[in-house]
Chains A and B, each alone.
Chain A
């Protein structure tokens, strides 16, 4: 090999080496992540489906089939790819295709952080039939009782959520009252010692119902049709 050839061979600069290494590692890691993602995607989707279904059937008693719909100002849509068209709700039917209720998600600020819940609304009786706390970080032993205290959960077996004359809001807002002071069907008896957590539940329900109950009643026919 002549000296000229050696001199002409371009030396590998350290900068090139660094970029090459980083690039190779980036590609390798990208490949690995994409593979794992693709493999686990269907499994995760199934897990999520099962989890939601379990929760929906818990808050809508008597249901055995679920259809996800999006309900907004413009009506009912089946596809959930549509952005901002409305809120995702879960219509629940029994074996015969009868609408047993609609499950919706909501949340409100609790004692420590946001309390997220799923609740079941029965359009026939205009009432809430059950709730399930999905996520919370309330004080263990006190605030976290909202998830399983049987007396508290009894509040939601037939919680009144009737609409007013105009059909655009609840005739009585859902509120929490001091423990033992519940007098009306639209009130929530707070757990003594866990007022803020109980208030969060009531707030979450009220906020969601004020917006969605009118919409559900207005498009009730469409909902019934979805089940058939």
Chain B
């Protein structure tokens, strides 16, 4: 079976860092938003979800990269999905064994990691084409970026909606919590706010670049 030669990526720091900022799965690629909105009403849940998703991402990416020459094109999506579902089932039982309270807090969203477009997307776009070590580092980067996104929502929502961070009271005692933050609308608003912030930063940077170019042209 002749494969189109794919540019095999050389391992570099960028392989990892890309997933954190430039190609952040949530903020830039707008993938996997369901858990980001649902499980971020507390920082603890956000961290746990990030770790679980990263595990599934790394494990399934590695296996798919390992088997990439043996999976025929027509059944690749089906194969990827079965592999991902397997690791999600593993994580599901692992979390139940570690902490039932955490398991009840995360609820159905652990099993919903299967439907997380980040994992399937990376499998299709990267793991199926690249070698083991680059896949490992890239997946770790993507997972870290995803966890970062979860944290950025989890901390804000818990702080404003409950006055606490990881259960520790941080806000002054007479702070009236903005309950809406831990309710569904809060998830939408906070994610929207972060996206606004990033868009604004991007626009500022572009404007500055244009000014610099203008100055160098004139001078």
Tell me if chains A and B make direct contact, with any CB pair below 8 A: yes
- Residues B97 and A40 in contact, CB atoms below 8 Å apart: yes
A45 to chain B, nearest CB (A): 10
Classify chain A: how many residues form its interface, as a range: 20 to 34
Q: Mark B68-86, 1 if CB is under 8 A from A, else 0.
A: 0011101100110011011
Known A21-B79, A29-B86; contact A141-B179, beta-carbon cutoff 8 A: yes
- Residues A25 and B83 in contact, CB atoms below 8 Å apart: yes
Known A17-B72, A32-B86; contact A140-B79, beta-carbon cutoff 8 A: no
Q: Which residues of B contact A (CB under 8 A)?
A: 67, 70-72, 74-75, 78-79, 82-83, 85-86, 89-90, 93-94, 96-97, 99-100, 104, 161-162, 177, 179, 182-183
- Residues B97 and A29 in contact, CB atoms below 8 Å apart: no
- Residues B179 and A43 in contact, CB atoms below 8 Å apart: no
Given the complex of chains A and B, what is the CA–CA distance between A14 and B73 in angstroms?
Answer: 10
Minimum-distance CB pairs A-B, first 5: A29-B86, A43-B97, A40-B97, A40-B93, A18-B75
Given the complex of chains A and B, what is the CA–CA distance between A33 and B92 in angstroms?
Answer: 10
Chain A binding site: helix, strand, loop or mixed by DSSP?
helix
What chain B residues lie within 8 Å of A28 (beta carbons)?
86
Chain B binding site: helix, strand, loop or mixed by DSSP?
helix
Given the complex of chains A and B, what is the CA–CA distance between A29 and B59 in angstroms?
Answer: 12
Known A29-B82, A40-B93; contact A140-B182, beta-carbon cutoff 8 A: yes
- Residues A25 and B93 in contact, CB atoms below 8 Å apart: no
Given the complex of chains A and B, what is the CA–CA distance between A78 and B85 in angstroms?
Answer: 38
What chain B residues lie within 8 Å of A40 (beta carbons)?
93-94, 96-97
Q: What are 22 A-B interface contacts by the 8 Å CB criterion? A: A21-B71, A22-B75, A22-B78, A22-B82, A25-B71, A26-B82, A29-B85, A32-B90, A33-B89, A36-B94, A40-B94, A40-B96, A40-B97, A44-B100, A47-B96, A47-B97, A135-B104, A139-B179, A139-B183, A140-B182, A141-B177, A141-B179
- Residues B72 and A44 in contact, CB atoms below 8 Å apart: no
- Residues B182 and A33 in contact, CB atoms below 8 Å apart: no
Closest residue on chain A to residue B70 by CB atoms: A21
